[in-house]
Structure 1
Amino acid sequence: MRAVLSSEWLKIRSVRSTYLILCLGLSTVLIGLTIALAAAGTYDAVSPEQQAGARIADLEEVLIVVPQLCMGILGILVITSEYATGLIRTSLALVPRRWPVLMAKATVVGALSLLVGALAVFGTYLVAGSVLGERFSGAYTAAFEDRLPLLITLTLTVPTFALLGLGLGALLRSAAAATAIVVGLVYVIPIIINNVPEPWSERLGSLMISALPRQITGDLITTSVYGSLLPPPVAAAVMVGYAFIPLVIATWLIRQKDA
């Protein structure tokens, strides 16, 4: 297994697109800094009455979609690129049991996306807090230990997307199809669900990945565009399901089918 891990790590770091995707994922911090500076400038330019009613969303929560999408696409490309070039045949021939190949890819992609997620989430939180200070009714003045559970859960959504992308890529063997599903989970499906009549809108919305972090921590907001019906253990189980169910099915199929 160690040799397979080393091989997958060599593959992923020898491709230039990997570094581009990582840079795009980490650009979240720069985007957050830019938005925070613009928001602080706007806040300082208005009257005290307007400042009293001004609010700003948590930037790390809004911008988490950037590393989510980037690492989800990386997970897709890690497997679909091998199917496209035929390299997967060589990989599976060298590892007859087959499942270690997919598990090694999952380990490498998962660890890398966890690191990117942590840097993006905590980096954005730190730069936004340092710029905004007590502006916007102290949006960033809450104690760090109080914010830590949500920051950790937001971080975990990034490897969730990466493993989901890897599983979908292995199942569909098509980068375009897998990417469409991942993008749909972030943008398209929530819009559709938001227009579904109640109570199904909230029921289905509660199952979206973006709705899970606050449900897992119990830190719910009534203004969320998503639902908030799941208790923390169930929300955590749903997140695990997103990450591993496609991967488990793909692992079973890869042992049954030819590459």
Structure 2
Amino acid sequence: MTDVLAAEWHKLRSVRSTYYTLGVAVGGILLGAAIAWSAAAAFDGAPPERRTGGSISNIEEVIVMFPQLCLGILGVLAITSEYATGTIATSLMAVPRRWPVLAAKAAILAGLAAITGPLVVFATYFVSRSVIGGRFSGAYLTPVADRMPVLALTGLSVVAFALVGLGLATILRSTAGAIVILVGLLYVGPMVVGNLPAPWSERLGSVMLPGLPRQIAGQPDAHSVYGSLLSPAGAVAVMLAYVVLPLVAGTLLLRRRDV
């Protein structure tokens, strides 16, 4: 298994798309800083009566969409690029049992996502906290320890997106198809669900993948488009289902069908 891991790591770091996607993901920190600076400038330029009622969303929870999508796309490319070039046949000839190939890809992707996601989330949070200070009724003055569970889980949610991308791509063997589904999970689905009538918006919003980290932490956002019906254990179970089901289906298909 060690040799398979080394081979998959070599494949991933030898292609430029890996560096492009990671660069865009980390570049989200700069966008977060720009948003924080713009929000602070707008607050300072507003009249006193508007400052009193002003509010701001958690910038890091918006910026995390960058690494979520980027690492999801990297998960897709990790296997569809081999189908496109035909090198998947060589990989599976070298590892006839097949499942270790997918397991190694998943492990490498999970490691990269576990570094990139928290890096972007924590860096964006601390930059935003520094820039915004006590503005917006002290929205960023909450003790760091109180924010830590949500920040950590939001950052680690990037791992789920990377593995979902890998699983979907293994099932579909299509870069475009897998990315379309990822975009649906991250952007389109929440927008549609948020506009549904009650109680469906709350029910379906509770099982949307981007809304699970706060429910796992036990700190749902009342102003979010996502629901808050799940217990922490229930939210963990739903997130595991998002990750495990595509990977299991992909493994079965990888073992049974021709490449």
- With normalisation by structure 1, the TM-score equals 0.97
Give structure 1 stretches of 5+ with no counterpart.
Answer: none
> 1:119 corresponds to which residue?
119
Q: Distance in 2 between matches of 1:140 and 1:226?
A: 22
- Displacement of 1:64 in angstroms is 1.1
- Deviation per CA, 1:111-134: give whole Å up to 9, x if none: 001111011100100110111111
> 2:63 corresponds to which residue?
63
Matched, 1:211 2:211: yes
- Deviation per CA, 1:143-195: give whole Å up to 9, x if none: 11110000011012101000000000000000000000000111112222223
> 1:249 corresponds to which residue?
249
Q: Distance in 1 between matches of 2:221 and 2:20?
A: 35
- Displacement of 1:213 in angstroms is 1.3
Report the RMSD for the aligned CA atoms in angstroms.
Answer: 1.0
> 1:28 corresponds to which residue?
28
Give structure 2 stretches of 5+ with no counterpart.
Answer: none
**Range that drifts further, 131-140 or 213-222:** 213-222
**Range that drifts further, 198-207 or 14-23:** 198-207
> 1:50 corresponds to which residue?
50
**Range that drifts further, 4-13 or 40-49:** 40-49
Q: Distance in 2 between matches of 1:215 and 1:135?
A: 27
Q: Distance in 2 between matches of 1:185 and 1:110?
A: 19
Residue 143 of structure 1 aligns with an amino acid whose one-letter code is: P
Matched, 1:146 2:146: yes
- Displacement of 1:53 in angstroms is 1.1
> 2:172 corresponds to which residue?
172
SS of the aligned residue for 1:229 comes to coil
> 1:16 corresponds to which residue?
16
Q: How many equivalent pairs are there?
A: 259
Runs of 4+ in 1 over 6 A off after TM superposition: none
- Displacement of 1:196 in angstroms is 2.8
Residue 151 of structure 1 aligns with an amino acid whose one-letter code is: L
SS of the aligned residue for 2:141 comes to coil
SS of the aligned residue for 1:141 comes to coil
Residue 35 of structure 1 aligns with an amino acid whose one-letter code is: I
Q: Distance in 2 between matches of 1:42 and 1:213?
A: 30
Matched, 1:129 2:129: yes
- Displacement of 1:217 in angstroms is 1.1
Q: Distance in 2 between matches of 1:196 and 1:135?
A: 33
> 2:160 corresponds to which residue?
160
> 2:101 corresponds to which residue?
101
Residue 159 of structure 1 aligns with an amino acid whose one-letter code is: V
Q: Distance in 1 between matches of 2:225 and 2:26?
A: 26
- Displacement of 1:59 in angstroms is 0.3
- Displacement of 1:49 in angstroms is 2.3
- With normalisation by structure 2, the TM-score equals 0.97
Residue 172 of structure 2 aligns with an amino acid whose one-letter code is: L
Q: Distance in 2 between matches of 1:69 and 1:255?
A: 28
Q: Distance in 2 between matches of 1:126 and 1:223?
A: 22
> 2:92 corresponds to which residue?
92
- Deviation per CA, 1:189-245: give whole Å up to 9, x if none: 222222333222211111101211111111122221121111110001111111221
Between the two proteins, what is the percent identity of the paired residues?
Answer: 54
Q: Distance in 2 between matches of 1:192 and 1:7?
A: 41
